[in-house]
Amino acid sequence: MTDKMQNKGMVFALATFCCLLWGSAYPSVKIGYRLFDIQTTGAQLLFAGCRFTLAGVLTWIITSIFFKKAVVPKKDEWGRMVSLGVVQTTFQYIFFYIGLAHTTGVKGAIINASSTFFVIIFAHILLKNEKITRAKIIGCVLGMAGVIILQLNGGTMDNHFSLMGDGFLFLACISSALGAVLTRIYTKKSESMILTAYQLMIGGVILMGVGLIMGGTITEISTRGIFLLIYLAFISAAAFSIWAILLKHNPVGVVAIYGFMIPVFGVILSGLFLGEQFLSLPILVSLISVSMGIWLVNREAIRVEKERP
């Protein structure tokens, strides 16, 4: 299992698949807001809480079927489940939705992509053998450049800094990055699928509570909306589970660099499903830049493996 999950072709395929799923959430969430008539931040958090709680339940069911029993964390695992759920799900999406409501979509996407830099920094501080290298820095710069090119395609970005907007989005990035590193640490002691199931359920339930406290309500319910919510839950269940498995068996930096593919897939899929413009030279340049960054980080990882006694 470990050797298979460390195979660079397998990592590429699974990480790209995760990014494709997360990228599809861009148009799916927009469609969901329309189907459920969601207009306030409280309603957004409530909707997100329903999505992640359902994702956790789906992951729990699949994991229980796999292990042929109802999976329950051990006593010493609950602290890890709660802390990861709060950091990676609750805090990340509270900061993300509030921040996005107070800044532009262009700035939001660019700031959100900076989470890969934070992953590299946290891994350097908290993990052994995960030091910052020149290849990682250049790879992140190339990936970030690709995201900036992508988001500035036909748009502009102002220089005004908003604490509730830009500041909260940076906090969302920090939460996401810290969650990735904690996943790497926690999966050494806990089964990754069980960890994913419970962190999603715990984080999702807290999100629902925060959404309700903020006055969020969902009154417009339809069959199409329910199916879309199930799909969004599937996205989170599948992507977070696979991502956790990859983080368990690979250096954090090697996996995290693929995150720059998420906004690329998001723009392309938004173009396909929402009728937005996506066939352009800047998007091609963005994809090339992101791909070069991923290739550079993976090339270094292969070199390090060959030099390891």
**For 107-133, how does the pLDDT look when each residue is reduced to its tens digit (9 = 90+)?**
666 677 778 888 888 888 888 878 888
- Say what the pLDDT of residue 142 is: 84
User: Among residues of the chain, what percentage have pLDDT more than 90?
Assistant: 41
At 284, the pLDDT band (50, 70, 90 cuts) reads confident
240, 14 Cβ separation under 8 angstroms: no
- Smallest CA-to-CA distance from 186 within 52, 83, 57, 69 is with 83
Q: Does the model's pTM come out above 0.95? A: no
Task: Write out the two tokens for 275.
Answer: 């009728």
Q: How many CA atoms lie within 13 A of 240 on its CB side?
A: 31
99, 169 Cβ separation under 8 angstroms: yes
Answer whether residue 197 shows pLDDT above 60.
Answer: yes
Give every CB contact of residue 73 below 8 A, 6+ residues apart in sequence.
Answer: 81, 190, 194, 198
Q: Any idea where the domains of the chain sit in the sequence?
A: 2-307
**For 199-253, how does the pLDDT look when each residue is reduced to its tens digit (9 = 90+)?**
999 999 999 999 999 999 998 999 999 999 999 999 999 999 999 999 998 888 8
- Smallest CA-to-CA distance from 66 within 18, 4, 8, 1 is with 1
| Average pLDDT of span 126-148 | 82
More confident residue, 274 or 190: 190
Answer whether residue 85 shows pLDDT above 80.
Answer: yes
- Say what the pLDDT of residue 287 is: 74
Alpha helix locations (H) across the chain?
2-6, 8-35, 41-67, 78-84, 92-100, 105-113, 115-126, 134-151, 168-186, 192-213, 223-249, 252-256, 261-274, 281-307
